[in-house]
Amino acid sequence: MPSVVFTARREVALRQVEQLRGNAPQGASTQSDRDFSFFSMMTDGNAIIFGNPALRTYFEDPLGGVLVRSPKSFLGSDIHADHLARFEEIVSGMLQHIKAMAERIHGGAVTRAVIGRPVRYHGTRGEEGNNQAMEVMARAAARAGFDDFCFELEPVAAAYEYETAITSEQKLLVVDVGGGTTDCVVMRVNPALAGKADRLSDILGVSGDRIGGNDFDEALAWASVMPLFGKNTVTKDGRPQPHSLVHDAMSIRNLPAQTRFARSAEAIEECMQQSATPEKWARLLKLNQQHLQYRVVHSVERAKMDLSLAPQSPVDLGYVESDLSATVEREGLAEATERLVSKVRSLAGEAIQASQTRPDVVFLTGGMAQSPLIKEAVSGLIDATVPLRSGDMLGSVGRGLGLSAGRRFV
C-alpha cells in the first residue's frame, strides 16, 4: 500500500465507489470547483482515500481533491499547529484504514500494534522534530483505536527479518532507503536471540535522515522532464526566464511550494507571453490548472524503477499533451541524484562509525535500494569481502515488525 492520501470531495468519493461497482456516473470536477488547499479539504463533507485507490481517484479526477504523498514525512516539520493537527487526522485515518484491513483478515478485533518509525523524522529540527512527530504518531495511534502500541526503528525491524535466515551471529549493516527517509543501523544479529523482546544492547550504531525515493523522483523529474515545462527557457529577447515557478511544480512534498504553485497561474501566463518557447509554459499552465504535477512525478517514478533493469526508459506524458514524452537514462539519473546518493552513502558510513565495528554483511531494503546506484555507493564503503545482500525490498520492514509484535504481545 503506497503511503498516499487523497482528500476528495464527497461526490468524487461516491463516484469512485460507483466505479468499483461497475456503475460509474459521467462527469469530472472542473477548475471552478477546485479548492487548492489541502487543509480546507479536511472537512466532514469530504472523504479521505488511501493507497492505490487514492492514486486511481486522483488520476481519474485530479481536480476532485488534493493528493499528498508520504504524510508521515511532514510530522517533524516546523508547521502551524492547526496544520499539524490536520496531519494527525490524516495519519490516524490511515492507521484506522490499516487496522480495519487487518481485522477483516484476522476475523476479529486488533487492538495492539508495533508501529515502524524512521530514525529521524526531520533532518533539520533534530530531536525537537523527532519528539513532535512521535507525539503526533502516539496520539494518532490512540485515536485509531489501538489500546496497546509501541514503536520500532524500521531498520531494526529489517534486521529481525534478516535474522530468520542465518545460523550464526553476525554484525549486520542495514541500509533502508524508503520513500521518505533513509535509515541505517549496525546491529548484532543471532538466531539464538530471535525470541528476545529487548534488543537494545544489540543495536551498535544508527543514523538516518529525511531523504528517500521521493527525493530521487523529484530530482530526476527536474533534470529530465521539466525542460519540457519551462526550465532553461529564455524570453523572446534572450533573457533567462525564472526557474522558481517550474521548481515549485515538482516540489510536491513542500507545502509552501505547492501553495505558491497553486496561485501562480497569472505568473505562468506572463512567462508564456514573454517566452521564445511559449508552448512549454502552456504545458506548465496545464499542470497548474489541472493539478497534474503529482502525476508527472509518478510517471517519472515508474520510469526510474525501470532503470534498475534497463539503461533507459520512456516517460509517457500524453495526459498533458498528445504524444508528449521524455526519456530517462541511468547516466542521467546518476547525474541528477549525485548529491542524494552521496548522502545515503554518508548515512551508512555514520552508522558504521557510530558502531565502532566492521559489519560482516550489508543488507539493503526499501524501494530505492533496488537501484544499482545505491548498491554501488554502499558497496564501496567496506572492502569487497563483505557481502551485499537484499531480500524483499518492500516487505522486509513489515515482516520484521510482525516478528517484533510476536515477541512483545504473544
Does residue 69 form part of some domain?
Answer: no
Lowest pLDDT segment from 121-130, 193-202, 299-308, 310-319: 121-130
Over the stretch 185-205, which tens digit does the pLDDT of each residue have?
999 999 998 888 888 999 999
Asked if residue 182 and residue 157 are part of one domain, the reply reads yes
Residue 215 CA to residue 156 CA, distance in Å, equals 23
Asked if residue 323 and residue 176 are part of one domain, the reply reads no
pLDDT value, residue 78: 84
What does the pLDDT average to over 211-234? 95
Lowest pLDDT segment from 5-19, 48-62, 230-244, 351-365: 5-19
pLDDT value, residue 32: 42
CB of 41 closer than 8 Å to CB of 66: yes
Quick check: 10 pLDDT over 60?
Answer: no
Higher pLDDT, 383 or 346: 346
Q: How far is CA 409 from the centre of its chain?
A: 29
Quick check: 31 pLDDT over 80?
Answer: no
Asked if residue 290 and residue 300 are part of one domain, the reply reads yes
Quick check: 41 pLDDT over 70?
Answer: no
Residue 390 CA to residue 396 CA, distance in Å, equals 9
Among 287, 316, 335, the domain boundary falls at: 335
Higher pLDDT, 41 or 404: 404
pLDDT value, residue 42: 55
Asked if residue 219 and residue 199 are part of one domain, the reply reads no
Q: What percent of the chain has pLDDT over 90?
A: 63
Does residue 172 form part of some domain?
Answer: yes
Does residue 17 form part of some domain?
Answer: no
Q: Is 273 exposed, middle or buried (0-12, 13-18, 19+ CB in 10 A)?
A: exposed
Does residue 259 form part of some domain?
Answer: yes
What does the pLDDT average to over 11-23? 52
Asked if residue 270 and residue 200 are part of one domain, the reply reads no
pLDDT value, residue 123: 61
Asked if residue 273 and residue 383 are part of one domain, the reply reads no
Does residue 396 form part of some domain?
Answer: yes
Among 270, 300, 335, the domain boundary falls at: 335
Residue 207 CA to residue 200 CA, distance in Å, equals 15
What does the pLDDT average to over 37-54? 70
Cell 502551524 belongs to residue: 80
Range of the domain at 379: 151-213+339-409
Asked if residue 266 and residue 174 are part of one domain, the reply reads no
pLDDT value, residue 13: 46
Asked if residue 246 and residue 176 are part of one domain, the reply reads no
- Alpha carbon distances (Å) from 235 to 137, 274, 278, 289, 310: 48, 5, 9, 23, 37
Arithmetic mean of pLDDT over the chain: 88
pLDDT value, residue 33: 41
Higher pLDDT, 83 or 277: 277
Asked if residue 363 and residue 307 are part of one domain, the reply reads no
Summarize the chain as % helix, strand, coil (round to 5): 50, 20, 30
Residue 361 CA to residue 170 CA, distance in Å, equals 7
pLDDT value, residue 82: 82
Does residue 365 form part of some domain?
Answer: yes
pLDDT value, residue 36: 44
Angle of helix 278-290 relative to helix 265-274, nearest 10 degrees?
A: 170
Does residue 70 form part of some domain?
Answer: no
pLDDT value, residue 205: 96
Angle of helix 338-355 relative to helix 372-379, nearest 10 degrees?
A: 40
326 membership: H or E segment, kind and range: strand 325-329
Cell of 177: 532507503
Asked if residue 327 and residue 192 are part of one domain, the reply reads no
**Nearest of 218, 208, 178 to residue 374 by alpha carbon:** 178
Among 290, 309, 335, the domain boundary falls at: 335
Asked if residue 358 and residue 313 are part of one domain, the reply reads no
pLDDT value, residue 180: 86
pLDDT value, residue 357: 94
Residue 34 CA to residue 73 CA, distance in Å, equals 25
Residue 204 CA to residue 188 CA, distance in Å, equals 7
CB of 270 closer than 8 Å to CB of 236: no
Residue 405 CA to residue 248 CA, distance in Å, equals 41
CATH code, 403: 3.30.420.40
Give how many domains the chain has, as a whole number: 2
Asked if residue 220 and residue 297 are part of one domain, the reply reads yes
Does residue 241 form part of some domain?
Answer: yes
Over the stretch 140-199, which tens digit does the pLDDT of each residue have?
999 999 999 999 999 999 999 999 999 999 999 999 998 889 999 999 999 998 888 888
Give the pTM: 0.88
pLDDT value, residue 22: 55
Over the stretch 91-145, which tens digit does the pLDDT of each residue have?
999 999 999 999 999 999 999 999 999 998 876 678 888 999 999 999 999 999 9
